[in-house]
Structure 1
């Protein structure tokens, strides 16, 4: 709504002109001290009146606040544009094939959000990504918003693109072609030439039968990993294998338990230097980001139940 006689704009019309979410503008004006919440409505403060704010009455809408059109040039208003925030609903503009629930579930799986009895809440990692949690004063629901530039964040872009493309993404390899160890080289895998015939090793009954497999069907590389995989399955914890960490580097953990935000690494004996380097970097990143992390050494294979039970109890309390 606008008043053509004196070029005044309602707060909602001002938000539309600024291309800002209405709720964000109301919250920002409140933070500036220009408006205040009173009797389930918004009221002007003395500061707001000094900025030209006034009331206007309408038979249809009742009493509402209007602002001079010149307010759009105010430094504090223009500063909002450089600090725009976005919600999962707004992210659908960039990922039209994903629903709000899908985006929220993905953020929760990454550890940016956590599921509580009150719904989704921001985690410490989510705060590192710039998340902000507020309560909608009209309905009391929690609102979580993100810096607008999160849509360009390499980790978020990677994860949401994976969802949008049904998991069909190129993996990264090092120069030796070993998947999952690309963090040391940063070389992206190139899609194969469809018109070039290449020799591929043929699977044999011997190689197929030699592969270890957990109760849940996860392929594992060792008895140590098998024990961990089966423990998680039997404890009814959904878990991922070789899950990438929420960083740009191609770092993975042997297991990830999203319900606990827990990354688990199985430290085998006599691993190649490249694998050891990656595991040390994974440990370092988990500590830097304060991610829940557990190392299980080959010598601990008979203590897996104790180690996992204790760590799960710590994270569940």
Structure 2
């Protein structure tokens, strides 16, 4: 049986730690003694245990599948760690976590991997190692068939094994139509083919700043949406808003911004006034996400 700390349980239940401690106190499972939370006899009956960490001292842990409704155990879903998922796709757990990070499902922190809002929405659950206090994430087994994850490996297969010429072409999306209307004909310093002079300036600046970046990267969501630029090291997206006077473009911009907000993606927005002095504006916007350029 896996056990998790009260703070980790609060994170899993998506409530504040203080609120969970208050609830457990109300249930009579824990009590406050000498400025520390301790288990009551009832808490022990419900499955609570005590652990000791050299750094954090004594703390209370609970069965990962515990229910606060009378303390009855709920059915435990099958959860997979990065090693098991990586084995399924024939890659290492380290590489898999980098892919998860790039998809925006987890973030690297000082103690390990922290789940994001998007990762929680997919059923991922945060855990802590009992001895080290390091953080990690477990995933439901349906993650193996997640469209955005499997597409990462499909893209690699397509590159290595080109599709036959007779393959039926898929219906074109709105983004495909946009690309046809505004073809990428301008080459940047790093070889990207982009669609406007402003995008050339932005791409060249990222190249000069020595920031690895992608052009027109699909967002890891069900909606068919592509960002102008993507910086994988910090999972930051960049959008340049041009054609502000075009009603159709303005509507497209509105939809994109709403989606960025919906998934809590890190977004840098640029417009024409930024482009004229990009070296003054872009570094400041990057710094907000911890990206320093010189």
Instruction: Compute the TM-score of the two structures, normalised by the length of structure 2.
Output: 0.64
Q: Tell me the distance in 2 between the aligned counterparts of 1:271 and 1:127.
A: 38
Kindly state the Cα deviation for residue 239 of structure 1 after the two structures are TM-superposed. 0.9
1:109 pairs, out of 102, 111, 116, with: 102
Kindly state the Cα deviation for residue 98 of structure 1 after the two structures are TM-superposed. 2.4
Query: Which residue is 1:79 aligned to?
Result: 75
Kindly state the Cα deviation for residue 269 of structure 1 after the two structures are TM-superposed. 2.4
Q: Residue 36 in 1 paired to residue 57 in 2?
A: no
Which secondary structure state, in structure 2, belongs to the residue aligned with residue 156 of structure 1?
helix
Alignment of 1:126-141 (within 5 A): 126-141=119-134
Which secondary structure state, in structure 2, belongs to the residue aligned with residue 315 of structure 1?
coil
Q: Closer, same or farther in 2 for the Cα pair 1:26/1:119, shift >3 Å? A: closer
Which secondary structure state, in structure 1, belongs to the residue aligned with residue 222 of structure 2?
coil
Question: How many residues are treated as equivalent by the alignment?
Answer: 231
Q: Residue 145 in 1 paired to residue 134 in 2?
A: no
Q: Tell me the distance in 2 between the aligned counterparts of 1:316 and 1:127.
A: 24
Which secondary structure state, in structure 2, belongs to the residue aligned with residue 92 of structure 1?
helix
Q: Any gaps of 5 or more consecutive residues in structure 1?
A: 1-24, 41-47, 49-74, 183-209
Kindly state the Cα deviation for residue 287 of structure 1 after the two structures are TM-superposed. 1.2
Query: Which residue is 1:311 aligned to?
Result: 285
Cα deviation, 1:146-196, whole Å, max 9, x if unaligned, reads 2332223322232344356557798965279x73759xxxxxxxxxxxxxx
Query: Which residue is 1:218 aligned to?
Result: 192
Q: Any gaps of 5 or more consecutive residues in structure 2?
A: 10-44, 54-62, 64-70, 164-168
Q: Residue 179 in 1 paired to residue 171 in 2?
A: no
Alignment of 1:254-269 (within 5 A): 254-269=228-243
2:2 pairs, out of 18, 26, 38, with: 26
Instruction: Compute the TM-score of the two structures, normalised by the length of structure 1.
Output: 0.60
Q: Residue 231 in 1 paired to residue 227 in 2?
A: no
Cα deviation, 1:180-233, whole Å, max 9, x if unaligned, reads 759xxxxxxxxxxxxxxxxxxxxxxxxxxx932222221111110011111111
Instruction: Report the aligned-residue RMSD.
Output: 3.8
Query: Which residue is 2:17 aligned to?
Result: none
Kindly state the Cα deviation for residue 304 of structure 1 after the two structures are TM-superposed. 2.1
Contact 1:135 1:143 in 2 (8 A): yes
Q: Tell me the distance in 2 between the aligned counterparts of 1:114 and 1:233.
A: 24
Q: Tell me the distance in 2 between the aligned counterparts of 1:283 and 1:79.
A: 39
Higher alpha-carbon deviation: 254-263 or 132-141: 132-141
Higher alpha-carbon deviation: 271-280 or 245-254: 271-280
Q: Closer, same or farther in 2 for the Cα pair 1:128/1:101, shift >3 Å? A: same
